[in-house]
Every structure is written in C-alpha cells, then in structure tokens.
Amino acid sequence: MSGKLAVIGTGPGNPDQTTPEAAAAIAAASVFFGYGPYLDRLSLRPDQRRVASDNREELARAREALATAAGGEHVCVVSGGDPGVFAMAAAICEAIEAGPPAWRALDLSIVPGVTAMLAVAARAGAPLGHDFCAISLSDNLKPWPLIEARLRAVAGAGLVIALYNPISKARPWQLGTAFAILREVLPWNTPVIFGRAAGRPDEAIAVASLAEADAGRADMATCVIIGSPETRLIERPGLAPLVYSPRSAGSVS
C-alpha cells in the first residue's frame, strides 16, 4: 500500500508552460492514465507505462487509476491545462467518494497548471482582467436549459465568459445557440475571442464582434472568450488588436 496518485495538468501544450512541479510529478511516476493526445505530449522513459483512453471515459479511467495506485504503483493521471478545470481531478474525487474505503487513504496530490482560458487571454491582451466565469458548453453531463440559464445570468451580471468544450462532432449547434442567446443580452460589438491551441505551434487567435461571431471558427481545441459590456478593443497598427476588460466597472445595471 505504498502507492501514490498524482493528478497533474500539463498546461496548454507548450512544454514551456508546464510547471517544474508537474514535470517532477511526471518524472516520479511509473504508470500514466489519460486521453491519448495529452499523453502524447509527455516524453516518457522506456520504464514508464501509458494507458490511453477516450476523452469521454473519465470516470472509468479514474477508477482504473485509483485501483492501480491502491495496488502499490506510482500513478500519474494527466490532464491538459489545469486538472481541476473541467478535467480529471473532479472525476478522481467522484470515484473516490463512490469507491472502496482504501481509496480515501491513498497518497493523493493534485498539481495545478495553466488552464486554457489564461493562455488564450494572455495572447489576446487582458480580457479576464475583471470579474469572469468559466462555463462548459457540453450538455453531456448537464441539461442544456441549465446552460442557457447560466449564460443569461452571467452575461446579465456583467461577467466576462470563458467557454470550455464549445463544440464537437456530437454537439454541433450549442455554440451557435449560445451566441444567439448572448446577442439578446450583450451589446453586439462585444469582443469575442476564438483561442485555438494557445502556445502550441498550430496556435490561432481570432477576434470578432459578437454580431459577427461564427461558431464554425471553433473546434474541440478552442476556448472561446466573450467580453462583458465593459470589455474594450485597442487597435494596433501592424499588430493584432489588444482585448481587455478594465479593472474598474461602472454602475449597477
């Protein structure tokens, strides 16, 4: 029972954005569980074993990782970004709560990382410079009407919105519907940032107004940030514009 379980985040994907703490956790582990593309980012040694699974099998993966750690192995569960933001740390906790008592006694560590919205925001300026929220647009695990209600509530309250899991083959219409809802609440010139693969070689950052925001620009690797009514855009000759949310906010709407 000397097993250990580390749940780590690699950051957005550029090794320069992986913390030394996460790198040390990777070096110390013997078995790795995660979504295949995330495991592909690691440079594992021949003595380190990888167990890849699909990205919709989080709970089964969590159970297998916990059982392996309880068996005495040094296990690393790998998320992209931060493991606590729409990623494996919650699945591990769910599995612990429903699992055998021995899993509660495991040596568990959760290692934070740079989550996608922070990497995208840094490329665009400072869109998260004031109050903001992160909402998953996936209705696999929550009903769509709840997502709609949350979008209306946070946009109406003046928060910047970062959308995770904006679109997939199985969820093609949700992002377009989200934009339509937000057009009912927010000014149409509100800046929208499509941040794809921030920090990686295939990075693509695009800015559009809410009026012109096209859901077709997003894919599974995209984090979409929608400004608040206070969010501003600074044009820069020969450079991409800066999008930022001022530190001060006005009156109660």
- Among residues 13, 34, 80, 84, which is the contact residue for a second copy, using CB under 8 A? 84
Q: Which is nearer to a second copy, 129 or 176 (CB)?
A: 129
The site map against a second copy for 176-215 (x = CB under 8 A) is ----------------------------------------
- Among residues 31, 65, 92, 210, which is the contact residue for a second copy, using CB under 8 A? 92
Q: Closest separation between CB of residue 175 and a second copy, Å?
A: 16
The site map against a second copy for 140-159 (x = CB under 8 A) is -xxx-xx--xx--xx-xxxx
- Among residues 1, 28, 105, 180, which is the contact residue for a second copy, using CB under 8 A? 105
Q: Which is nearer to a second copy, 2 or 47 (CB)?
A: 2
CB contact set of 35 (below 8 Å; sequence gap of 6+): 52, 53, 54, 55, 78, 80
Q: Is 247 in the site for a second copy (CB under 8 A)?
A: yes
CB contact set of 92 (below 8 Å; sequence gap of 6+): 5, 7, 62, 65, 66, 77, 108
What residues from 39 to 58 belong to the interface with a second copy (CB under 8 A)? 58
Handedness of CA 63, 67, 68, 73 (dihedral sign): positive
State the DSSP code for 195. Answer: E
- Among residues 130, 174, 191, 215, which is the contact residue for a second copy, using CB under 8 A? 130
Which two structure tokens, joined as six digits, stand for 36? 């295949």
Q: Is 166 in the site for a second copy (CB under 8 A)?
A: no
The answer to whether residues 120 and 198 touch, using CB atoms and an 8 Å cutoff, is yes
- Among residues 125, 166, 191, 227, which is the contact residue for a second copy, using CB under 8 A? 125
Question: What is the Cα–Cα distance from 78 to 91, expressed in whole angstroms?
Answer: 12
What residues from 58 to 77 belong to the interface with a second copy (CB under 8 A)? 58
Q: Which is nearer to a second copy, 68 or 231 (CB)?
A: 231
Q: Which is nearer to a second copy, 32 or 164 (CB)?
A: 164
- Among residues 5, 89, 193, 223, which is the contact residue for a second copy, using CB under 8 A? 89
Strand order in the sheet with 239-244: 125-126, 239-244, 232-236
* H-run or E-run covering 23: helix 20-28
**What are the angstrom distances between the C-alpha of 208 and each of 37, 132, 137, 232?**
29, 19, 19, 12
- Among residues 10, 68, 115, 174, which is the contact residue for a second copy, using CB under 8 A? 115
The answer to whether residues 229 and 131 touch, using CB atoms and an 8 Å cutoff, is no
